[in-house]
């Protein structure tokens, strides 16, 4: 068991991505966590402990993005990209917790004695088994592993893998890395990253959704009845993203899959508008209950098949466009 006391808030504790250190290098995993009282634990010490199912106890208020990616075996750090070891890991916080706790969290539990700021990550408050603490579990873990915990609010049907989120709490990375046929309905808005790395199942957001909705989608279905933020469907590998509208850069660097939008959206290469088929319209009607004529108003975007050309200068100074093979 690890015990640390904080004299001031620190972000990204127990963060399995170390704040995406391979991308922005803003956090050194082996750096000593600041503002400790009497200990010299590093960021890696905490995550390594959790991976061996050693409890981590933190006294004092905690900053943002606590337990980000908890339970995931991060590919960029040499993992498989799936769910790793330490699936019953527990974090205890004697204090308050900052926003975006549990982003991308796929296993384990977080116990908090104080407040938890919104938006939340991929977590849901369940009935606590420890007096004096609120308990938060991963939505992915709760559904796919049919965990016995019951939510303190919202509506869960474990047999049908169906969850209705109607508590008005904004959540991000809903159903991250989900690999089972879940059916999640959000009766309101969602934060960033809905369906991140999702492989199976359907998430429907009745309101708007934030940035990176459907990013890295790998087989699941994400439906946003309202507007999705920038970079919707970025890096998609497979699956379906259906939105009412988008804020731009949709489909950036996507490899496959399909994006449908009721309103015209601005895409980024290689995504481009393609012809919508009868099968596409049937899928749209199934996902949003649209009528035949309503489904015809949607546009489809996917990896473009347009021929690429390059300008080649000729001896006379003219330019000839030649196709790139």
pLDDT at 45 over 80: yes
Lowest mean pLDDT among 100-104, 161-165, 307-311: 307-311
The neighbour count for residue 76, using CB atoms within 10 Å, is: 12
pLDDT at 315 over 70: no
Backbone torsions φ then ψ of 130, nearest 5 degrees:
-130, 120
CA 257 to chain centre: 17
pLDDT in tens, 192-211: 999 999 999 999 999 999 99
Q: Which residue has the higher pLDDT, 126 or 148?
A: 126
pLDDT in tens, 7-17: 999 999 999 99
Q: Where are the domains of the chain?
A: 1-152, 156-325
Predicted confidence band of residue 80 (pLDDT cuts 50, 70, 90): confident
Nearest C-alpha neighbor of 174 from the set 228, 136, 138: 138
pLDDT at 189 over 80: yes
Written as six digits, the tokens of 89 are 């890991």
CA distance 145 to 188: 26
| Strands 134-138, 162-165: pairing kind | unpaired
């Amino acid at each position: 068991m690890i015990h640390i006391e904080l004299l001031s808030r620190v972000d990204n504790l127990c963060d399995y991505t170390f704040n995406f250190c391979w991308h922005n290098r803003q956090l050194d995993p082996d750096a000593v966590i600041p503002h400790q009282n009497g200990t010299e634990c590093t960021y890696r010490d905490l995550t390594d402990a959790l991976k061996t199912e050693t409890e981590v106890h933190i006294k004092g208020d905690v900053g943002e993005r606590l337990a980000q990616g908890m339970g995931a075996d991060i590919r960029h750090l040499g993992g498989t990209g799936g769910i790793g070891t330490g699936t019953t890991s527990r974090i205890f916080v004697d204090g308050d917790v900052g926003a975006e706790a549990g982003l991308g969290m796929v296993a384990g539990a977080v116990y908090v004695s104080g407040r938890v700021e919104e938006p939340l990550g991929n977590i849901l408050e369940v009935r606590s088994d420890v007096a004096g603490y609120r308990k938060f579990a991963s939505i992915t873990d709760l559904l796919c592993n049919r965990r016995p915990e019951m939510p303190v609010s919202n509506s869960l049907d474990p047999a049908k893998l169906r969850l209705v989120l109607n508590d008005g709490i904004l959540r991000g990375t809903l159903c991250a890395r989900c690999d089972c046929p879940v059916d999640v309905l959000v009766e309101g808005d969602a934060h960033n990253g809905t369906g991140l790395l999702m492989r199976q199942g359907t998430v429907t957001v009745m309101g708007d959704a934030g940035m990176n909705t459907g990013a890295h989608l790998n087989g699941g279905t994400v439906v946003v009845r309202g507007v999705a933020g920038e970079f919707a469907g970025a890096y998609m590998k497979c699956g379906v993203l259906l939105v009412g509208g988008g804020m731009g850069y949709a489909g950036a660097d996507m490899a496959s899959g399909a994006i449908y939008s009721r309103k015209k959206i601005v895409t980024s290469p290689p995504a481009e508008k393609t012809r919508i088929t009868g099968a596409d319209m049937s899928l749209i009607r199934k996902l949003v209950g649209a009528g035949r004529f309503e489904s015809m108003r949607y546009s489809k975007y996917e990896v473009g098949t347009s021929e690429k050309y390059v300008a080649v200068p000729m001896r006379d100074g003219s330019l000839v466009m030649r196709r790139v093979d």
